[in-house]
Structure 1
C-alpha cells in the first residue's frame, strides 16, 4: 500500500488515469493511428516507471533471434542522452550520445546488431528500414505506452516484489497507466523472481495477473543470474570481499542481496537516482570512501555512464568492476517464450 499521505494525491492520480484511459481508447478505437509493419516489431516494456529489468530481457530476445538466424535491431528512446533525433550507435557512442541502456546493448552485441535511438519510434523504425536493409526484426526497448506503433509481439514485464496489480497510478504509485493496460500484453514476464519460487506461488501470481491481462495470456517467470566481476577501472581482479557499491539504477536491492549472499561485505553504498550522470565529484567522493584492499562494484548499466570520456581517467585510477546480469527463466518459461517467436516471421497481411 502507498504511504497514507499519498492519498492526498488521489485526485491527480484519477486525472492522470483518465487522460491515459482516453488516450488508449482513441488508439483502440482507431481514431488515432497505430502503425503495423511488414517485419516483426517486438515491444518489451512495463506499466511501472523504472526498474523491472527491461535491459536484460531485451538482450535475451536479441540473443534468441540471433540463434534463430534472424537479423534484429534494437530501437530505444535513449533516456538520459544529451542528443536529439535519430542516432545509430557506433564505437564512438557514449551514454551521453545514445543513453546508458542502448550503450550496454552495443557493448553486448557490437556491430552484429544495429542499436538506434529516436524519440519518435515510427521515425526510428522508418530510418532503420531504409538504412539497414538486412533487418528481419526490430526490438523496441521500453515502448509499451508508445501506441503509435503496433507491435507484432507485446511483452509486459512486472517485478515479483512490486507487481503492477498491487501498484497505483502516478503520483500515488508508480504506474504509467492503470492496471487495465495489461490487457494489451501478448505475454507477461514476472521478473527478478527467486530461482526456487514455488509452483503454487507462481500459480497465485499468474491468476492475479490474468484478472487484468486476460485468462489466456501466458505468464512466465524469470530470475537474474549474476556473473563474475568484470574490470572497468585499473585493476584486473577484485582485491577481496570488502567492497564499496556504486549504483545509479532504480532498484539496487536485488544486487545488494546477491552480493551479501555471495559473501561480499558492503562497507558503503553510494546510491544515486536511476540514469544518474556521474561526475568527477561523485568519483572523488567514492575514492574518499574507499579503504585499502577494497574494490568498487557497480552495474553494467552504470559502467556505461562511468566510461564517459571526461571520467575515464578517474575511473582508470580506481579498482572498479561491474557485475553482469543475464535472465534465466523458471521451469519451461524460456521454451514457451521461444515458441512465440517463429510465428512472427510467417508471411501475414499488414492491416
Structure 2
C-alpha cells in the first residue's frame, strides 16, 4: 500500500462502514426498495471509472429490442438539465448526457430516458402511452431504492474489485461484499487470448458465489472509423496525420489498440465525461483530422460539425459462453 493510501485508509474504513450499514438496512427491509411487475435489468460496477457499462447496455438492447419494447434509464451524468426527460436524439450531450444520447442515436426506436431519481424515472416510463416491456438501468448497482430483478456487475480485467479498496484510499463505491447482489459478474476488457487457467484464477480471486455466473469479455474495435457523413477504413489513418481526443476514464486500451495497428498520432486526454470549454474547442478546430471515442463524439459533433471528426466504434465480445449469458437474460425476461 502506498503512503498516500495509508493516510487515506482510516477514511476508507469509515466510508466502507457506512456503506455496509446502508446495505444491511436495505437487505433487511428497514430501508425500502421498489420492485416492479416487469423485467428490470441493472448494469453497474463497484468501482468508479470505466468498466464497459455502455457497450454492455448496447449489447442488451441489441439482444432484446427486436422482441420487446425496451427502455434505458440513466442518471445523465453531468447533464445541464434535471428531473425526468425522454431523449429524442436532437439534444446536445450537455443537455441529456453523452451515454443516453449515444443510445438514442444508435437505437432510435428504443425509449431512452434520464432521471437522477430512478424510481421516479421508472414511474414516468410506465405512464407513457406505450410503456416499455423491459427497462435497462445504466449504472444503477448502488441505486438500491430500486430492486432490479437482474443485476449485471462489471469489473475490468486490469482492475478487479477484489484487488481494490473503498474510497478514498481506493476506487470502490462500496465494499466488495456488495458483489453478492449480482446475478452475473462479467470481467471486461480482457485480452482476447485469455486462457481457461487464468479464468479459474480470476474466479478464485473474485470469490464467485455458487448462485452467480461468471463471464469474460473483451473490447472489439471496428475496422472502420465513422464521421457524420463519411466512413474511413481504420488503416487509411496510417497515411494521415490525426489527433486522438479522449474524455473517458481509461483511454489506455484504445491507445494501445491504435498503436498496435501501426498508427501514429498525438493524444489529447481529458477527464471522464469532460465538457469541452470554448477555448478547448477553438484549439481542436485547428486540427485537420480528429479521432475520438463514440461518447466523446456525442459531445463534440455539434461543436466540430465539419468533415474531420471521426470516432471508432466498439462492441462487447464474449470470450466463450455468449449464448449462456444471452439465454440467462432471455430466460429472466420471459418470466414476466
TM-score by length of 2: 0.94
- Please tell me the root mean square deviation across aligned C-alpha atoms, in Å: 1.7
Count residues with an aligned counterpart: 331
Q: Give the 3-state SS of the residue equivalent to 1:242 in structure 2.
A: coil
How far has the Cα of 1:243 moved from its partner? 2.5
The Cα shift of 1:203 comes to: 1.2
Where 1:281 maps in the other structure, the secondary structure is helix
Partner of 2:89: 91
Q: CA deviation at 1:344?
A: 2.1
CA shift in 2, pair 1:182/1:58, >3 Å: same
What corresponds to 1:74 in structure 2? 72
Measured after TM superposition, the shift of residue 10 of structure 1 is: 1.1
Correspondent of 2:299 among 292, 300, 305? 305
Asked if 1 retains the 8 angstrom alpha-carbon contact of 2:220 and 2:316, the reply is yes
Gaps of 5+ in 1: none
Match of 1:254 in 2: 253
- Supply the distance in 1 between the matched residues of 2:261 and 2:250 (Cα, whole angstroms): 19
Q: Which runs of 5+ in 2 are unaligned?
A: none
Q: Distance in 2 between matches of 1:321 and 1:283?
A: 15
User: How far is 1:129 from its partner?
Assistant: 0.6
Secondary structure, counterpart of 2:272 in structure 1: coil
Matches within 5 A, 1:1-351: 3-67=2-66, 69-110=67-108, 112-209=109-206, 211=207, 213-227=208-222, 228-232=224-228, 237=232, 240-266=239-265, 268-288=266-286, 290=287, 295-308=289-302, 311=303, 315-317=304-306, 319-332=308-321, 334-347=322-335
CA contact (8 A) 1:235 1:319 kept: no
Report the CA distance shift for 1:236/1:133 in structure 2 as closer, same or farther (over 3 A). closer
**SS of residue in 2 equivalent to 1:138:** strand
Native 8 Å contact 1:75 1:138 kept in 2: yes
Give the superposition deviation at 1:56: 0.4
Shift of 1:285: 2.4
Distance 1:203 1:343, change over 3 A: same
Does the CA-based 8 Å contact 1:235-1:320 persist in structure 2?
no
Alpha-carbon distance in structure 2 between the residues aligned to 1:235 and 1:150: 43
- Alpha-carbon separation, structure 2, partners of 1:347 and 1:204: 34
